Structure 1
Amino acid sequence: MVSTFRESQATQPSPVRSQIQALQPTLVEWRRWLHQRPELGFQEHLTSEFVARKLQEWGIEHQTGVAQTGIVATIKGAKPGPILAIRADMDALPILEENQVPYRSLHDGKMHACGHDGHTAIALGTAYYLAHHRDDFAGTVKLLFQPAEEGPGGAKPMIEAGVLENPTVDAIVGLHLWNNLPIGTVGVRSGPLMAATECFRCQIHGKGGHGAMPHQTIDSILVASQVVQALQTIVARNVNPVDAAVVTVGTLHAGTALNVIADSASMSGTVRYFNPELGEHIPQRIQDIIAGVCQGHGATYDLDYWRLYPPVINDPAIADLVRSVATNVIETPAGVVPECQTMGGEDMSFFLQEVPGCYFFLGTANLSQNLAYPHHHPRFDFDESALQTGVEIFVRFVEKYCA
C-alpha cells in the first residue's frame, strides 16, 4: 500500500506538503507498531513509553503519567500567541483480532479496532512536524495523548489533572478515523456531532411459581416484556420529533425452566441523544414507565441509571475553521461531508464542555482494498493513506489558528 501511494504522489500534485508526504512511510510504521501492541484503558504502558521515547528524541517538552498513562506534549511557536490543544486517544478494545496481516495484534484478546493506533500516529507526526517548524506558528500547541476513551473514560481524569491549564487552553481539536466515510473525505459539523452515552440496568421482582398455575404468581417475564415495549414510547411520544434519541434494551434475562414462572427478570440498555435538555427528561420517563408497569402487575423493581459521556458538541467558529482547512486539503468529489452525525459516544465531549473546539471525522474506508469493516469489528482496519492527510489538516489548522 505504501509503495502504491508513493508512486501516485509522483504523478499527481497533492495538497499534502512534501515534508508530510515524506513522513507517510514512518506514520505507517508507527501505526503498525502500535497496532501490534494494543492495550486497554489505563494500561497503555507500552504505548505511552513509545510516545514518550519519540518526544524525547525530538526534544519536545512533555509530561508522562498524566491520569495514569496519559502524556501531555508542549510545543512553543516562534512568538507568543493562543494556546491550542490537539487530543489523541491511545487505548484499544478487548476484541480478538481476525485480520491476517503482518501487523496483527500480538496481544490475544486485545485489538485496535477503532483506529486509536492511527490517532496516536497522526498526533506523533503532527508533533514531529511542528517541532521542526516552530517559526510557522505563534503561541503554544499542547498535544494530549489520552488513555481509556473506550472506558471507563480518560478525558475527565486528564482535565482534573490540569491538562487544560498552565498555560490555559483557548481551543481544542481532535479527529476520529472513520470507516463510515470513504477515504478522501472529512466529516465536519457545527453543533452536536456525537451523542450522549448513558446506561441503565433494571431488575424486575415478581413472584415465581408453577407454569401451570399462573394465578399464584407475578410473572416477571410478562412485566419485563411490557416494560421493554413501553420504553419505546419515550422516543416515539415523549421526545420532540425534531430531536434524535435512542432508547435500546440490549439484554433481557429471566427464567430457568420452561414450566417455571420466573421470580425475577433483569434487563439492561443504553440511551443516546444530542440535545442536552433530554438529559433529565429521558431518565425520568424510564423511571416512570418501569414504576407504572410494575405497579400495574404488583411487581417491584430496582433501577440503576448512570451517565458515561455527554454529547460531543462542536463550537461553530472552530468547526468553520476546521472546515475551511479540510476543504483545501480534500480534493475528492465527496470532499467535506457536513451531515455526519452518529449516535456513537466519545469522551472528547468533556474537553468540549471546558473549551471551544471541534471534533471531526477523517474518512478511511476503502472498499477496493476490503478496508471497510465497521468500528469494533474483529476485522476492522483502515486505509493508511489517511494518516498523512490527518497530519496535514492538523498542521494547517495550527498555522491558521495560531497565526
Structure 2
Amino acid sequence: MDKETLVQLYPVMVGHRRYLHRHPELSFKEKETSGYVAGHLKRMGIELITGIGGTGIIGRIRGGKPGKTVAFRADMDALPIQDEKQCDYASQVPGVMHACGHDGHTATLLALAEYYSSRREEVEGNIVLIFQPAEEVCPGGARSMIEAGALNDVDVIYGVHLWTPIPIGTAGSAPGALMASNDDFVIELRGKGGHGGMPHMAIDSVVAASALVLQLQSIVSRSVDPLQPAVLTIGSIQGGMAQNVIADRCRLSGTVRCFNEETRTMIARLVRQVVEGTAAAYGAEAEIAYTTGYPSLINHKQEYDRFYSIAGPEAGLKPVLAAPIMPAEDFAYYLKEVPGCFVLVGAGNKDKGIIYPHHHPKFDIDEESMLHAATLLVAMREAYCLENKA
C-alpha cells in the first residue's frame, strides 16, 4: 500500500466532499451528483455504466496482473433536512443536506478511483466501484445496482460508513449481524366524524388510534423473545383539524427493526392482527400498508476477521467489536450475494465540536475519517488479494 499517495489524495477527498455537501440531492434524484462522479471517473479513463436505477454508476478498473475482483461501494443521496451548520461548505439547497455522511463516502471512493487508476499495471485483478443512489429510502438503490451487474464476477465487497457516534481513529464492525432489518407501515383508521360535545353520535378515530399506539407497543414487550432485539416505533400520528370536532380519520406510520427473520415475520403478522382487532373494538375500520424493507446486514466472519487483524497494523486504526445497531443499511443486499464486510469508521471528534448524531441538522464529520476509510479499504483489498493469489 502506498500510504504517501493516499495522504496526498486527502485534500482531493476534502474538495469532493465539500462540493457534494454544498450541493446535496435527495434519494433517486442524484442527477447532478451522478454527473459530477461520472465526469471525474471518465477523466481517469475508467470503464463506466451509468444511469442505473436512474443515477447509479458502476466503474471498473482492470488491473495489469491476474487476480481477484474486489468491489467497493459508496452511497450518494442526501436527506430532507435543513442544514443548520455555520461553515463555508454548508448546504446551498434549502431543506436538503448530507446529514449522514454519504458525501464523505462518495468522496472517499472517488479518491480510491484516483489511487487505483494511476497504478493500473501494478493492480492484481479488477476493482469495481459502485456509486449507488437512494440508500436512505426503500426500496433503496442496492438491488438495482445488483440487477445491473455490479457484482458480476466480484469475489468480495467492502463498504464503510463514516460514523460520528464513535471517535476518530476507531473503526468498528461485527461478525454476523451488524445492522437491523427495517420494515415500515402506514395505518389509516376510519371512524365517523361528529361534534366534540356529542361523542356518542360519532366513532372517534383519534381515540382508536391512541389505543392502537399502546397495543402495538405490547407486541415487542409481550410477544417477542426478550433475547431477540426488536423495535417497533410509531413515528407519526395525524388526525383531526379542530378542538371541537371528532375526527373521522386518523393516520399513523411507524417502523419495525430486528435481526431475526422469524421475529420479523411474526411482528408483521401481529401488527396486522392488532390493527384489525383494535379498530374493530372501537367500531372503526382500518387499512394497513406494510412495506418490507432492507434485510439485516450480516457480515461474513472471515472478512470481519480480516478487518480486525489489519485495521491496526495497516490502517493505523483502533479496531473494536461493535454492538449491533438498529439503523438499517441496504449494503445488506450485497452481502447476501457475495462475501464481504461493512465497517463503521469513527468520524466524531469532541475537540472539533463534531458531536451531532446522524440525521441531525448540525451533523458533520471529522474529514480525516475519509483518509482513514480509504486507507482501511486499500489495506483490506491488499490483504484479501494476498491471501487469495491466483
**TM-score, structure 1 length as denominator?**
0.90
DSSP 3-state at the match of 2:128: strand
- Contact in 1 for aligned 2:347/2:365 (Cα 8 Å): yes
Counterpart check, 1:374 vs 2:360: no
Counterpart pick for 2:58 among 63, 72, 83: 72
Q: Quote the residue 1:7 is aligned against.
A: none
- Contact in 1 for aligned 2:188/2:287 (Cα 8 Å): yes
Q: Quote the residue 1:224 is aligned against.
A: 209
- Contact in 2 for aligned 1:217/1:261 (Cα 8 Å): yes
Written as runs of structure 1 = structure 2, the 5 A alignment for 1:183-194 is 183-194=168-179
TM-superposition CA deviations, 1:358-377 (whole Å, max 9, x none): 11111100111111211111
Q: Measure the CA separation in 2 of the matches of 1:295 and 1:136.
A: 69
- Contact in 2 for aligned 1:199/1:271 (Cα 8 Å): yes
Q: Measure the CA separation in 2 of the matches of 1:338 and 1:85.
A: 23
- 1:182 Cα deviation after fit: 0.7
Counterpart pick for 1:283 among 268, 284, 290: 268
Q: Measure the CA separation in 2 of the matches of 1:56 and 1:97.
A: 31
- The amino acid that maps onto 1:180 is P
Counterpart pick for 1:245 among 220, 230, 234: 230
DSSP 3-state at the match of 1:50: helix
- Contact in 1 for aligned 2:82/2:96 (Cα 8 Å): yes
- The amino acid that maps onto 1:260 is V
Q: Measure the CA separation in 1 of the matches of 2:222 and 2:75.
A: 37
Q: Measure the CA separation in 2 of the matches of 1:288 and 1:230.
A: 11
Q: Measure the CA separation in 1 of the matches of 2:190 and 2:117.
A: 61
- The amino acid that maps onto 1:148 is A
- Contact in 1 for aligned 2:308/2:320 (Cα 8 Å): no
- Contact in 2 for aligned 1:48/1:69 (Cα 8 Å): yes
Alignment RMSD: 1.9
Q: Quote the residue 2:91 is aligned against.
A: 105
Q: Measure the CA separation in 2 of the matches of 1:314 and 1:206.
A: 46
Give the direction of change, closer, same or farther, for the CA distance of 1:214–1:49 in structure 2 (3 Å limit).
closer
Give the direction of change, closer, same or farther, for the CA distance of 1:254–1:230 in structure 2 (3 Å limit).
same
Counterpart check, 1:119 vs 2:105: yes
Q: Measure the CA separation in 1 of the matches of 2:320 and 2:141.
A: 28
- The amino acid that maps onto 2:45 is G
- The amino acid that maps onto 1:268 is S
- 1:200 Cα deviation after fit: 0.8
- Contact in 2 for aligned 1:189/1:340 (Cα 8 Å): yes
Q: Quote the residue 1:208 is aligned against.
A: 193
Counterpart pick for 2:142 among 155, 170, 174: 155
Q: Quote the residue 2:296 is aligned against.
A: 311
DSSP 3-state at the match of 1:104: coil
- The amino acid that maps onto 1:255 is G
Counterpart pick for 2:218 among 233, 256, 281: 233
- Contact in 2 for aligned 1:172/1:358 (Cα 8 Å): yes
| Sequence identity (%) | 45
Written as runs of structure 1 = structure 2, the 5 A alignment for 1:244-393 is 244-329=229-314, 331=316, 335-393=318-376
DSSP 3-state at the match of 1:215: helix
Consecutive unaligned residues of structure 1, counting only runs of 5 or more, are: 1-14
Give the direction of change, closer, same or farther, for the CA distance of 1:67–1:208 in structure 2 (3 Å limit).
closer
Q: Quote the residue 1:12 is aligned against.
A: none
Q: Quote the residue 2:42 is aligned against.
A: 56
- 1:393 Cα deviation after fit: 0.6
TM-superposition CA deviations, 1:142-170 (whole Å, max 9, x none): 010111112241111111222212xx212
Consecutive unaligned residues of structure 2, counting only runs of 5 or more, are: none
TM-superposition CA deviations, 1:41-88 (whole Å, max 9, x none): 232232222222222222222222222211111122332222211100
Counterpart check, 1:143 vs 2:126: no
Give the direction of change, closer, same or farther, for the CA distance of 1:218–1:65 in structure 2 (3 Å limit).
closer
Q: Measure the CA separation in 2 of the matches of 1:318 and 1:50.
A: 32
- Contact in 2 for aligned 1:185/1:330 (Cα 8 Å): no
- The amino acid that maps onto 1:160 is E
Q: Measure the CA separation in 2 of the matches of 1:282 and 1:16.
A: 49
- The amino acid that maps onto 2:225 is N
Q: Measure the CA separation in 2 of the matches of 1:365 and 1:212.
A: 54
DSSP 3-state at the match of 2:225: coil
Q: Measure the CA separation in 1 of the matches of 2:262 and 2:120.
A: 43
TM-superposition CA deviations, 1:336-357 (whole Å, max 9, x none): 2212422111111121222222
TM-superposition CA deviations, 1:179-219 (whole Å, max 9, x none): 11111110111111111111111122223333343333333
Give the direction of change, closer, same or farther, for the CA distance of 1:172–1:209 in structure 2 (3 Å limit).
same
- Contact in 1 for aligned 2:185/2:288 (Cα 8 Å): yes
Q: Measure the CA separation in 1 of the matches of 2:190 and 2:81.
A: 34
TM-superposition CA deviations, 1:16-37 (whole Å, max 9, x none): 8222112112211121122112
- Contact in 2 for aligned 1:310/1:347 (Cα 8 Å): yes
- Contact in 2 for aligned 1:190/1:316 (Cα 8 Å): yes
- Contact in 1 for aligned 2:205/2:249 (Cα 8 Å): yes
DSSP 3-state at the match of 1:237: helix
- Contact in 2 for aligned 1:192/1:314 (Cα 8 Å): yes
- Contact in 1 for aligned 2:179/2:328 (Cα 8 Å): yes
- Contact in 2 for aligned 1:123/1:391 (Cα 8 Å): yes
**TM-score, structure 2 length as denominator?**
0.93
Q: Measure the CA separation in 1 of the matches of 2:47 and 2:383.
A: 23
Q: Measure the CA separation in 2 of the matches of 1:263 and 1:33.
A: 48
Q: Quote the residue 2:70 is aligned against.
A: 84
Give the direction of change, closer, same or farther, for the CA distance of 1:256–1:387 in structure 2 (3 Å limit).
closer
- Contact in 2 for aligned 1:73/1:143 (Cα 8 Å): yes
